[in-house]
């Protein structure tokens, strides 16, 4: 059916001439699944529309921000009103204050917050605060967790690196990389050994408390509790990277679910309602170290952009009463049930985040809590079903290692259709 994708193919050929891989963020380029990325021209509700006029039920949702669906009317109205007032002020303004107060009043461990433009920036800044506060230099990260593309975090990272030939990026500054320590997920003894040997050098441990960048790898509560205990007893800070899980798993993110209070937390995605926003926040004494209050420098020309702040506020206000989280949990549970027992397929899900793992050697063994437990053919086995779904008008994120997202715009009929399509496609795989 490739003749129906003429416009995407023509645009991809042009794009590759002027941009690396024809895209502006790696996973968009379909390297992990092969073929031509569909060039999308718009989205509405649960649907994306491509340049060839075809529609898709979208389970990527811009990689997470769109918890309300595409073009949510309230977010749109807030953004349009902001646009009419002037969209970049470069001054103190009230719009970021509204968003900051909303967050600080609802999340006890966020006593103070600073807005930036991306999750990467939020992480970079939180790491700098941790080093400034502890006067130590090492940062501990976990294998398979992704924390954006700052040098020190591009080691054993997930997301686009999960499907790259090497687990670390090229081009990293060797001195910077030496400051990163890496531990496996789900291994308390390894963590204890590492802290016993290096604990006094560690400024902070950073973790996605719900790792969602190498498939979805929910951690045991004891593991997160051990990490919290070890950081505290060694004078290191605990940073939860909730760029994906923040405001998605519940208003208080995964920290709210697991009951562990991080010293610092990073946000992105949902917090901006689909506009470019990131944020870092946490204990007041730590955040007071940030310029101009304190000596840790961090700045941004377009930070707290009024358009993005207004859109973020309009999105978060709809999530406050918890109704949408309840609706998404029910929808997620329905999808999980409908996928149960499909040959060669395992699903791991928390709330509205799901991960489908496919293997030609029978059903992958769950729970998977580390990338090391994956079936070896997980990447290759995803390609066929991915393209077959695409042809049927169902858009999953184009990589076996990316998770799927449900939104308030998805319906029971949508998830039933996804499960039925997979059941038919995989009927012949070994069980």
- For CA atoms 329, 330, 331, 333, the dihedral sign is positive
Asked whether position 355 contacts ligand PMP by CB under 6 A, the answer is no
Catalytic entry in 146, 214, 267, 325? 146
What is the Cα–Cα distance from 374 to 281, expressed in whole angstroms? 34
Tokens read off for 374: 């994956």
Asked whether position 349 contacts ligand PMP by CB under 6 A, the answer is no
Asked whether position 213 contacts ligand PMP by CB under 6 A, the answer is yes
Task: Kindly indicate which of the ranges 140-148, 178-186, 327-335, 378-386 contains the residues binding ligand PMP, using the contact rule CB under 6 A.
Answer: 140-148
Nearest residue to 215 (alpha-carbon basis) of 68, 364, 327: 364
Contact code string over 264-283 relative to ligand PMP, x by CB under 6 A: ----x---------x-----
Site for ligand PMP in 284-343 (CB under 6 A): none
Query: Residues in contact with ligand PMP, total (CB under 6 A)?
Result: 16
Q: Which is nearer to ligand PMP, 148 or 385 (CB)?
A: 148
Among 22, 43, 119, 344, binds ligand PMP (CB under 6 A): 119
Asked whether position 208 contacts ligand PMP by CB under 6 A, the answer is yes
Among 61, 99, 123, 217, binds ligand PMP (CB under 6 A): 123
Chain centroid to CA 97? 25
Contact code string over 45-84 relative to ligand PMP, x by CB under 6 A: ------------------x---------------------
Chain residue at closest Cβ approach to ligand PMP: 119
Q: Which is nearer to ligand PMP, 9 or 263 (CB)?
A: 263
Q: Which is nearer to ligand PMP, 159 or 348 (CB)?
A: 159
Q: Which is nearer to ligand PMP, 95 or 146 (CB)?
A: 146
Tokens read off for 34: 């092969």
Among 72, 241, 263, 402, binds ligand PMP (CB under 6 A): 241
Task: Kindly indicate which of the ranges 117-125, 307-315, 357-365, 386-394 contains the residues binding ligand PMP, using the contact rule CB under 6 A.
Answer: 117-125
269 is known as an active-site residue: yes
Q: Which is nearer to ligand PMP, 142 or 359 (CB)?
A: 142
Task: Kindly indicate which of the ranges 84-92, 114-122, 379-387, 405-413 contains the residues binding ligand PMP, using the contact rule CB under 6 A.
Answer: 114-122
241 is known as an active-site residue: yes
Task: Kindly indicate which of the ranges 28-36, 145-153, 311-319, 339-347 contains the residues binding ligand PMP, using the contact rule CB under 6 A.
Answer: 145-153
187 is known as an active-site residue: no
DSSP state of 292: T
Tell the smallest beta-carbon distance from residue 182 to ligand PMP (Å): 16
Q: Which is nearer to ligand PMP, 148 or 344 (CB)?
A: 148
Among 244, 314, 319, 403, binds ligand PMP (CB under 6 A): 244
Strand partners, 265: 240, 281
Tell the smallest beta-carbon distance from residue 245 to ligand PMP (Å): 8
| Residue-wise burial string across 250-284, b where 16 or more C-beta atoms lie within 10 A, e elsewhere | bbbbbbbbbebbbbbbbbbbbbbbbbbbbbbbbbe
Contact 68, 407 (CB under 8 A): yes
Q: Which is nearer to ligand PMP, 152 or 381 (CB)?
A: 152
Among 39, 59, 109, 146, binds ligand PMP (CB under 6 A): 146
What is the Cα–Cα distance from 294 to 341, expressed in whole angstroms? 56
Asked whether position 107 contacts ligand PMP by CB under 6 A, the answer is no
Tokens read off for 41: 């021209």
Contact 284, 111 (CB under 8 A): yes
Q: Which is nearer to ligand PMP, 300 or 384 (CB)?
A: 300
Residues of this chain that bind ligand PMP (CB under 6 A) = 63, 118-120, 123, 146-148, 159, 208, 213, 241, 243-244, 268, 278
By annotation, the residues acting in catalysis are: 146, 241, 269
């Amino acid at each position: 059916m490739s003749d129906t994708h003429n416009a995407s193919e023509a645009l991809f050929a042009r794009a590759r001439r002027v941009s690396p891989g024809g895209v502006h963020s790696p996973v968009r380029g379909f390297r992990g699944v092969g073929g031509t990325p569909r060039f999308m021209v718009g989205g509405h509700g649960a649907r994306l529309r491509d340049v060839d006029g075809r529609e898709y039920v979208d389970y990527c949702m811009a990689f997470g921000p769109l918890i309300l669906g595409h073009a949510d009317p309230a977010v749109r109205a807030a953004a349009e009103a902001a646009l009419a007032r002037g969209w970049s002020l470069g001054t103190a303004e009230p719009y970021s204050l509204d968003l900051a107060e909303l967050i600080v009043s609802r999340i006890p461990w966020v006593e103070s917050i600073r807005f930036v433009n991306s999750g990467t920036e939020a992480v970079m800044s939180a790491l700098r605060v941790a080093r400034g506060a502890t006067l130590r230099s090492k940062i501990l990260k976990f294998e398979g967790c992704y924390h954006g593309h700052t040098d020190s975090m591009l080691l054993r990272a997930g997301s686009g690196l999960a499907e790259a030939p090497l687990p670390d990026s090229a081009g990293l500054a060797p001195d910077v990389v030496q400051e990163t320590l890496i531990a496996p997920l789900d291994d308390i003894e390894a963590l204890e050994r590492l802290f016993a040997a290096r604990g006094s050098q560690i400024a902070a441990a950073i973790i996605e408390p719900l790792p969602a960048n190498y498939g979805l790898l929910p951690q045991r509560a004891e593991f997160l509790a051990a990490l919290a205990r070890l950081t505290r007893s060694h004078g290191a800070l605990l940073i939860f990277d909730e760029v994906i899980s923040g405001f998605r798993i519940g208003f208080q993110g995964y920290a709210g679910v697991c009951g562990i209070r991080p010293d610092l937390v990073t946000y992105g995605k949902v917090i901006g309602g689909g506009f470019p926003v990131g944020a870092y926040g946490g204990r007041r004494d730590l955040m007071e170290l940030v310029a101009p209050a304190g000596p840790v420098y961090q700045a941004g020309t377009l930070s707290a952009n009024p358009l993005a702040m207004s859109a973020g506020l309009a999105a978060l206000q709809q999530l406050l009463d918890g109704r949408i989280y309840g609706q998404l949990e029910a929808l997620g549970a329905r999808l999980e049930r409908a996928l149960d027992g499909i040959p060669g397929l395992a699903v791991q899900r928390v709330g509205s985040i799901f991960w489908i793992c496919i293997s030609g050697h029978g059903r992958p063994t769950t729970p998977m809590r580390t990338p090391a437990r994956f079936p070896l053919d997980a990447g290759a086995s995803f390609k066929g079903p991915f393209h077959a779904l695409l042809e049927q008008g169902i858009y999953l994120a184009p990589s076996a290692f990316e998770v799927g997202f449900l939104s308030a715009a998805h319906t029971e009929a949508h998830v039933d259709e996804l499960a039925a399509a997979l059941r038919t496609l995989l009927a012949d795989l070994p069980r």
